[in-house]
Amino acid sequence: MLILLPPSETKRAGGDGPSWRPDALAYPQLSSAREQVMDALVALSGDEDAAARVLKLSTRQRGEVALNAALRDSPTMPALDRYTGVLFDALDAASLDAPARAWVGAHVAIHSAPFGLVGALDPIPAYRLGAGIRVPGLPTMRALWADAVGAAIAASAPSFVLDLRSEAYEALGPVPSGIPQAYVRVVSEGPDGAVRALNHFNKHAKGELVRRLSASRPEVAGQDALVRWAQDEGIVLRPSAAGELELVALPATR
pLDDT at 251: 45
Question: Helices 98-107 and 200-216 sit at what angle, rounded to 10 degrees?
Answer: 110
Mean pLDDT within 224-230? 96
C-alpha span between 2 and 153 (Å, rounded): 9
Largest CA-CA distance found in the chain, in angstroms, rounded:
56
Q: Which helix (H) or strand (E) holds 204?
A: helix 200-216
Per-residue pLDDT tens digits for 71-80: 999 999 999 9
pLDDT at 192: 59
C-alpha span between 5 and 164 (Å, rounded): 5
- Is residue 241 very low, low, confident or very high in pLDDT (cuts 50, 70, 90)? confident
- Is residue 254 very low, low, confident or very high in pLDDT (cuts 50, 70, 90)? very low
Report if residue 126 sits inside a domain: yes
Per-residue pLDDT tens digits for 141-200: 999 999 999 999 999 999 999 999 999 999 999 999 999 999 999 987 766 565 666 566
Q: Are 74 and 126 in contact (CB under 8 A)?
A: yes
Q: What is the domain extent for residue 177?
A: 2-248
Report if residue 211 sits inside a domain: yes
Report if residue 254 sits inside a domain: no
Provide CB contacts within 8 A for 88, sequence distance 6+.
8, 80, 207
Question: pLDDT at residue 253 above 80?
Answer: no
Report if residue 174 sits inside a domain: yes
C-alpha span between 129 and 214 (Å, rounded): 29
**Burial tier of 241 (Cβ tally within 10 Å: 0-12, 13-18, 19+):** exposed
N- to C-terminal Cα distance for the chain? Answer: 26
Per-residue pLDDT tens digits for 86-121: 999 999 999 999 999 999 999 999 999 999 999 999
Residue 116: name the closest of 175, 20, 30 by CA: 30
Strand partners, 195: 189
Report if residue 150 sits inside a domain: yes
**Burial tier of 102 (Cβ tally within 10 Å: 0-12, 13-18, 19+):** middle
Report if residue 253 sits inside a domain: no
Q: Are 173 and 149 in contact (CB under 8 A)?
A: yes
- If one counts every other C-beta atom within 10 angstroms of the C-beta of residue 141, the result is 24
Please, what is the average pLDDT of the chain?
93
Q: Has this prediction a pTM greater than 0.85?
A: yes
Strands (E), 59-212: 77-78, 108-112, 116-119, 123-124, 161-163, 181-189, 195-197
What residue type is assigned to position 141 of the chain?
M
Q: Are 201 and 192 in contact (CB under 8 A)?
A: no
What percentage of the chain has pLDDT greater than the value 90?
88
Helix (H, G, I), strand (E, B) or coil at 104: helix
- Is residue 229 very low, low, confident or very high in pLDDT (cuts 50, 70, 90)? very high
Report if residue 225 sits inside a domain: yes
Residue 108: name the closest of 6, 176, 205 by CA: 6
C-alpha span between 164 and 87 (Å, rounded): 10
Number of domains in the chain: 1
